[in-house]
Structure 1
Amino acid sequence: MDTVALAVTDGMLHFELSLAHEVFASAPEGITGPWYDVAVCGPDPVRVERFQLVPDHGLDRLPLAGTVIVPGWADVDREPPADLVDAVRAAHDAGARVASLCTGAFVLAAAGLLDGRTATTHWAHTRALAERYPRVRVDPDVLYVDNGSVLTSAGKAAAMDLCLHLVRLDRGSATANAVARRLVVPPHRDGGQAQFVTAPVPAPGRHPLAALLPWAIERLDQPLTVEDLARQAGMSTRHLGRHFRTVTGTTPLQWLLTQRIRYAQELLETTDDSVETIAAATGMGTATTLRRHFGRTVGVPPDTYRRTFRARTRQESAGPDGTAPTG
């Protein structure tokens, strides 16, 4: 799925369009090998909010892409253009993975791709989406929904979460984290996290946990407690919990567990360390504990995750004839 097509038309929101282009158009420093081939597809020219955009290709290019991304749609009170809807449906029928950002979900719904599926969009428009498309199971309380070949996200910052999720699926956690570092955003937020977060993407150095979060990430191998975090932050456990909820949208212990799982994913992808060694390195203690939490969070055991990732890596590095390059 190396080709990412951004489906645009008059009335698209430039923030989500620019965000997706920034994630997929440039490889982060240190990443070797081929990166995504990004194509902006739409009628010529396109009015994106107050800007005029000349796409690289027409909408007929969408079915040739591995991934099609539909940015936010500005005027949700009217039906999206029929040519865009038809092209997105044709791309999905051709086998493309289709993802919407923010109100781009209205385009996917109009194409029938969300019928019988759970989906989300910006919280301010979830009721309109549910009323107009009653066959869609709209969840207003999540950041994004992954249905495999069809994905939807909530608004603005959640669009970044979904794009990073796609990179993680394709290239692994280490690469997704490298993209996040380049863009100076948090490396991961679970799709099931609530949309209502006071500061979902805190500015570096401008929130009470700015020093604490990297401190904790550097010590994931240690048995950190809420008391340890509060002591390091110089605040009470109650204030710590309040700040964590505001900055990360979750509790200190849940945030720690998420970081440990993501680090375990990275080690499974990039090393041959045993599950026992990874359990110690991520602060899980025992392989049994790691397997329990990993399976509950990721959906598969660590060994299965590693085999799947390694198989995908070998497939991506294979030549046109299916064999690995020899030099």
Structure 2
Amino acid sequence: MALPHIFEVSWPDPTKLGVDSKSAAILLNEAKETFAGHLGVRSDEISFLGEPSLGFYLALSGLLSPNTRLVYSNIDRMEIFAIAENYPNLQLATSTSGEIDFKECTNSDVVSLQLCNRETGIIQSGRPTNCAELFVDATASGTRIRLPGNWSAALWDSISWAGPGGLGVLAISKKAKWKNPLPHLDSRVNPGPTSLPLIVASALAIDSWVADEKNLAEKISAINSEIRTYITDKIPNADLAPGGADHLLSASFLYVNAEQLVTILADKGFAVDSGSACNATNMQPSHVLAALGTLTQGNIRLTIHHATSFEDVKIFLEVLEQTVAELRA
């Protein structure tokens, strides 16, 4: 379905009774079925959010009560840190490889599990089983990692499957003891409407992305290895964060200003990020890298997309090496 046609057929309000609205409702239900199939949830467990980060609050605040303890890690997103300030909490420390040990959890806790760290690509292999409710942050993993069987609520970001930005997918398990933390008069999780064109476009994107991932995963892994090898062998005083997911990578360079590095690379045609992964405008040292004991100075974060080619990477690495040397001079 072409993008102009998406806007043409999805402008009506799917909650109304007109003919056009009924067609829009069919589109919405089809999109929900598409997401449900790829994400491993039921279509009636899915809600859409115009602001993905709102999902952290909706999911966790709905699972928590005033006396319930929230257990999370020191490499979770800052949205989790902010929520934890309002409840009894336990912050678990990561190992230098990024692993979290959930043995301190109890069967009365609400636990936050980050499947994949979107700054470093670290994949969390541990699964908390001794908890009352489990929130799963799948915003960086997308469809790559399946939900654990005991999930209560889960959040995805459309951009993780190359879909449009500004769309979050929140799933609340029918088995979860979740209560809507927002003022509400009905059973809707999100009180306001979410753009149907974005939802339909994202559903098309996830279909396409999953099909491409089967064919391109090996290439993405090879590109990740090439980048790591080049930086290790060619650029002195560089530090690579532990990895896991092949599409994400974090590298830091001693004696280099991160903001200058990002700006110069952008001027040369390469878009990279730095600082806290929770806010692209925040150039402060990353709490994730600090928790891992990894160099925080001169940090850049890379995302390897399906369209990234080996030639693109070769040129980028040569430019990166030259730019780091110039900034250190």
Q: Comparing both chains, which one has the higher relative contact order based on Cα–Cα distances under 8 Å and sequence gaps of 6 or more? A: 2
Give me the TM-score of the superposition, normalised by structure 2: 0.27
User: Which is richer in helix?
Assistant: 1
